[in-house]
A and B are shown apart, each in its own frame.
Chain A
Amino acid sequence: MTLRAKALARAAELRAGFEAAGALPVETPILQPADILLDLYGEDIRARAYVTSDALRGEQMLRPDFTVPVVQMHMAHGAEPARYTYAGEVFRRQEHDPSRANEYIQVGYEVFDRAAPAAADAEVFSRLTAAVAPLNLRAATGDIGVLMAAVRGLKTSQARKTALLRHIWRPRRFKGLLERYAGRVPPSKEREALIAGETPQTDAPLTGKRRQAEIDARIARLREDAQTDPLSGTEVALLEALLSVRETMPYALAQLRDLAVDLPSIAAAVEGISKRAEALAARGVDVDHLPFETSYGRTSMEYYDGFVFGLYSPDRPDLPPIATGGRYDALTRRLGQGAEIPAVGGVLRPDLILQLEGAA
């Protein structure tokens, strides 16, 4: 059998396993309307997905993942609670690393359940890990929600919190904003003058769609922002301490609880992590040795807003993760046009599983 045939066969087995566990098998089209994906991910998605078009339907993308179509399908006519499984190709443009596949098979398991988020997180994680248990993969876990809670709890203006939340998944810009809000980066001369009230004169006519009222409103916001007290050094230090938590689960939880004394806004999120750890332990996961990292998933997993995880080969660090997943409640809110449902899921890569088995 060719590698592709083997990967398809393995994908079918994995999916059958998830079906046996109670998931409903679903299929989604390969061609997805581009506008929804562009709205969600922004222009960056063009670097990662293949775009094609025709005169009737306009731009379409070759499915870069299943999450968006599965969520849409569930929001349109799914019963609750629901468990889904799927297997099929996804397509990813590769511009930097020719050794990475641009077409591969994913097998997924997704849970839409309002009742018990910690239990649902643990269910997805343990089902995926169980499916690849013989490979002895290394797990990485994190929680984007705890960082979001910390930002929401900062003693600063709503505008600053909104700006920081918008850049949770862009750590460089996030850090830059944090330093500016902490008063560590002095404003430029031009900006100081603008804030001081000297609106620069320009002979240039205003062209384009952005109107004068929008410019005036932004200047007003900049002046207002200049009146905002800088974030205290203590708060920034706490946030930085939070971002650097990287421990096995019991120690991570101890550190997070200590931080929650000074950052009470994260208390509920930390409690959620603790409940999840209990739910994982109840499913037989070795929580004492499970790594937890607050910063995990911030650069590559932009729609996840709670639990995040990945499974990696310790012997083949050159390979992408064998499994990835997480919670994406906010995505269902954005795709649901008012409706929402808590959701968590993950995917496996049968092609990589076969590679690792071949090497073993």
Chain B
Amino acid sequence: MTLKLGVPSKGRLMEKTFDWFAQHGIRLSRSASDREYAGVVDGIEGVALVLLSAGEMPRELAQGRIHFGVTGTDLIEEKLPLWEQQVEPVRTLGFGFADLVLAVPKAWVDVDTLEDLDAVAASFRQTHDMRLRIATKYHRLVREYLRHGGVADYALVDSQGATEGTVANETAEAIADISSSGETLRANHLKVLSDGPILRSQATLWRSRVAETDDAERATASKLLNALAAD
């Protein structure tokens, strides 16, 4: 049957993924109608293009509904606790670089490290009778990072967008979000803690370890991998 390749369905991530595959002799394109989420693959037989939101890619790979898929390391690790058993990274694509960082108001001149944040969380809780709030959509990654770092007395609050604005709006005291250039952070008067990012992410081609594969698909997969192996 056909090998299913998942690619982000819109925006720069889709365009750059198309470019990257084109450099390896595989032309991906959306079908004629711009509204239809279907695609065309030229340059290799037996591969079907599945256009998906980047956020759904981890689940589709983990459930084996697609054989290959392009998405960021951040989404894979956030959504798949056992990702190493479910997917394997095939190639990093060299774009979509972004770090998941923890940031606090720049005016907190007494806070540079995770250790400072922990100390501030303790006194914040005493002063305000509430735990220090960190806005994020990466709940699992942030919680594991803070547990590992020995931070207590904080609360995660969900923020699915405009996360940098939550501090000024007083719905959070700190944030954890993806930042590529740091410009949004600066514009919102936030600074990154010096301990280093929670995670470094980039667009990556993943292979599902669980998708059922017949002989024809296996042959197509090795052809695809050969084509993509060249730099």
Residues of A bordering B, CB below 8 Å: 38, 42-44, 46-47, 95-96, 98, 163, 166-167, 170, 172-174, 176, 180, 188, 190-191, 194, 199-200, 202, 204-210, 212, 214-215, 217-219, 222
Contact = CB atoms under 8 A, between A and B. Distances in A.
B168 interface: yes
A96 B151 CA distance: 21
A214 B105 contact: no
A205 B107 CA distance: 6
Contacts of B124: 210, 214
Interface in B29-49: none
Given A204-B106, A207-B107, A222-B110, A46 B143 contact: yes
B155 A214 contact: no
Nearest to B147: A44
B167 A44 contact: no
A94 to B, nearest CB: 9
Interface string B153-185: 111100000000001101011000000000000
B13 interface: no
Contacts of A219: 109-110
Residue from B106, B107, B143 having most chain A Cβ neighbours under 10 A: B107
A166 B173 contact: no
A208 B168 CA distance: 5
A166 B121 CA distance: 12
Contacts of B139: 46
Contact of B173 (A43, A163, A209, A217): A209
A205 B110 contact: no
B150 interface: yes
A170 B168 CA distance: 32
21 contacts: A38-B131, A38-B155, A42-B131, A42-B152, A43-B154, A95-B81, A95-B140, A167-B152, A172-B150, A173-B118, A173-B149, A174-B150, A194-B110, A202-B106, A206-B107, A207-B188, A207-B189, A214-B123, A215-B107, A215-B109, A218-B120
B112 A190 contact: yes
A204 B153 contact: no
A209 B221 CA distance: 54
Contacts of B12: none
Residue from A38, A166, A218, A219 having most chain B Cβ neighbours under 10 A: A218
A215 B140 contact: no
Contact of B143 (A47, A180, A200): A47
B115 to A, nearest CB: 7
Contacts of B110: 194, 215, 218-219, 222
A191 B170 CA distance: 27
A200 B122 CA distance: 23
Contact of B168 (A194, A202, A207, A214): A207
A208 B170 contact: yes
Contacts of B105: 204, 206-208, 210
Contact of A42 (B107, B128, B149, B154): B154
Nearest to A190: B112
Contacts of B108: 210, 215
Interface residues of B, number: 43
B189 A205 contact: yes
Nearest to B127: A214
Nearest to A44: B147
A166 B123 contact: no
A176 B115 CA distance: 9
Interface string B79-104: 00110000000000000000000000
A204 B106 CA distance: 6
A218 B107 contact: no
Contacts of A206: 105, 107
A41 B181 CA distance: 36
A224 B134 CA distance: 28
Contacts of A210: 105, 108, 120, 124, 173
Given A173-B151, A209-B170, A218-B123, 5 more contacts: A43-B156, A166-B152, A170-B152, A173-B150, A218-B120
B152 to A, nearest CB: 5
B189 A204 contact: yes
A167 B150 contact: yes
B113 to A, nearest CB: 8
B119 interface: yes
A191 B112 contact: yes
Contacts of B109: 194, 199-200, 202, 215, 219
Interface string B113-148: 101001110111001100100000001100110111
B140 A47 contact: yes
B11 to A, nearest CB: 30
Contacts of A167: 150, 152
A178 B23 CA distance: 55
A211 to B, nearest CB: 9
Nearest to B128: A209
A180 B168 CA distance: 33
Interface string B192-214: 00100000000000000000000
Given A207-B167, A208-B168, A43 B140 contact: no
A212 B127 CA distance: 13
Nearest to A47: B143
Q: Which 10 A-B pairs have the closest CB atoms?
A: A173-B150, A204-B106, A206-B107, A204-B189, A95-B81, A170-B150, A207-B168, A208-B167, A200-B109, A218-B110
